[in-house]
């Protein structure tokens, strides 16, 4: 009976040894998996932090771009307003120029007519001067005749 118990004890010891080895192997595997899990957890945390930083940077970039866009829109609106004012001013200047051109044309016509009148008056003046000279000559002759007659 002792050998049967001894065999059973030996068998149990072998099983305990096998269980202990399996336990040690499982503990090592668990330790390795736990280390990998911690590494992956840290990697995930780092990735999340990086993604969060990128997201924050993107928000800042978007905010800055929106501000810049707002400024550009204001600038564009100002430029369009200036352009509209300049177009109105150009139209006004064109109207004024057209009116001035008409005035200049009228003045040129008046000038041409005045020159013609001056030419005509010069001609009349010349004729009158000739007539005056003739009349003065006649008067001189009559004075001479009057003096002789006295």
Domain boundaries, the chain: 1-118
Query: pTM surpassing 0.85?
Result: no
Q: What is the full per-residue pLDDT of the chain (150 aa) written as tens digits?
A: 678 889 999 999 999 999 999 999 999 999 999 999 999 999 999 999 999 999 999 999 999 999 999 999 999 999 999 999 999 999 999 999 999 999 999 999 999 999 999 999 999 999 999 999 999 999 999 999 999 998
- CA 140 to chain centroid, in Å, comes to 91
Q: How far apart are the first and last CA of the chain?
A: 211
21-44 burial: b if 16+ Cβ within 10 Å, else e: eeeeeeeeeeeeeeeeeeeeeeee
């Amino acid at each position: 009976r002792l050998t049967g118990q001894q065999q059973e004890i030996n068998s149990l010891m072998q099983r305990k040894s096998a269980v202990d080895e399996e336990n040690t192997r499982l503990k090592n595997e668990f330790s390795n998996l736990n280390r990998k899990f911690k590494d992956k957890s840290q990697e995930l945390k780092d990735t999340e932090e990086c993604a969060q930083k990128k997201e924050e940077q993107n928000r800042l970039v978007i905010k800055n771009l929106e501000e810049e866009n707002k400024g550009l829109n204001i600038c564009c609106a100002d430029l369009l307003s200036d352009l509209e004012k300049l177009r109105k001013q150009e139209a006004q200047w064109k109207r004024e120029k057209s009116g001035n051109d008409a005035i200049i044309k009228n003045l040129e016509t008046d000038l041409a007519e005045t020159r013609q009148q001056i030419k005509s008056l010069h001609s009349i003046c010349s004729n009158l001067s000739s007539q005056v000279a003739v009349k003065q000559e006649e008067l001189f002759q009559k004075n001479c005749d009057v003096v002789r007659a006295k």
